[in-house]
Structure 1
Amino acid sequence: MTTTRKVLGAALGIVVAGVLGIQFVGPPRTNPATDPTRTIAARGRVPGDAAGVLQRACRDCHSNDTQWPWYSSVAPASWFVIDHVNHGRSHFNYSEWAKYTPEEAGELLEKSCELARKSAMPMPSYLRMHRDAILSPADVESLCRWAASAAPAN
């Protein structure tokens, strides 16, 4: 075996060991238990069209009911996905809606509408892998119409 082949074989072995090794480190995927009486659905009426938008386009990052895709189990992609979900939940969480004051809830709904109108939410990086979460103009309008009618109720 030539020296070049030995070096390439060793390098490949190190890369494979590294890829396998990183699978055991990183943040955990979580779906915290949810008290159904504290969710956005329990705290106010969400019309069917807006509920569908929330379920399809918002749930994975803004609730405790994340549907984790297969690649969220494979590092390093898992690190990014888990970070995005944790970041989204920290901004607001539909599963913990009762913790917001009526004023905070109203502001969150208004901000959701504003970001949807600007096509900033769902995040473009999320939409690349979740084409079904793309919001149509009708989706945005139903979300914004509901947000305007629901704010500032909590």
Structure 2
Amino acid sequence: MLKKILLVLLVIFVVAQFFGPEKNQGDIQSVEPFLNETKPNAEVTAILKETCFDCHSSFTRYPWYDKITPVNYWLAEHVEDGKKHLDFSQWSTYEAKKKDHKLEELIEMVEEKEMPLPSYTWTHKEANLSDDQIEAVISWAKNVRSNIQL
């Protein structure tokens, strides 16, 4: 009986590999309006690319394990949720008040080390921000906020 159950589960797992969620495979150029408007320096730009854009833009660099169902559904849900909160690819469509609020949230989340998510840094060690990197991002975001015309 146990062998039959395991065989059925194996078949279901194998068949499931042929299905997956829609990928977030837009163009990395979609963040250019955001970068052009907010003008992060090279250090902050690199931090944003390594730690933010995968889940908060229209372009995600998928890891090898994204090809495994159900992991791919879990990743897709993270990206979808991230884009609901902040989508750098949609930055130019945000009103000034919304931009200010999103930067305020970014500052808070980075300052409190809630972003990037631990589940992201677990598999992306380069996304673990040092105190200096956190300060650089916060300083840049505060500067951008001070220049937003509300």
For normalisation by structure 2, the TM-score amounts to 0.88
The 3-state SS of whatever aligns with 1:59 is coil
Q: CA deviation at 1:124?
A: 0.9
Q: CA deviation at 1:55?
A: 0.8
Q: CA deviation at 1:26?
A: 4.1
Decide which structure has the larger Cα Rg and report it.
1
Query: Which of the residues 37, 46, 50 maps onto 2:44?
Result: 50
Alpha-carbon spacing, 1:114–1:39, altered in 2? closer, same or farther (3 Å): same
Q: Is the 8 A contact 1:71 1:77 kept in 2?
A: yes
Describe how 1:14-29 pairs up with structure 2 within 5 A.
Answer: 14-29=8-23
Q: Which residue in the other structure is 1:99 paired with?
A: 93
Alpha-carbon deviations, 1:21-73, whole Å to 9, x = none?
Answer: 22234421122346658631122311112111101111110111210111112
Describe how 1:1-154 pairs up with structure 2 within 5 A.
Answer: 7-33=1-27, 36=30, 39-151=33-145, 153=148
Unaligned runs of 5+ in 1: 1-6
Q: Distance in 2 between matches of 1:97 and 1:85?
A: 16
Q: Is the 8 A contact 1:46 1:146 kept in 2?
A: yes
Overall identity of the aligned pairs, in %: 26
Kindly report structure 1 stretches of 4+ aligned residues shifted beyond 4 Å.
33-38
The 3-state SS of whatever aligns with 1:62 is coil
1:54 maps to a residue whose letter is L
Q: CA deviation at 1:113?
A: 1.2
Unaligned runs of 5+ in 2: none
Q: Is the 8 A contact 2:58 2:89 kept in 1?
A: yes
1:23 maps to a residue whose letter is Q
Q: Is the 8 A contact 1:113 1:140 kept in 2?
A: no
Q: Distance in 2 between matches of 1:52 and 1:33?
A: 17
State the superposition RMSD in angstroms: 2.0
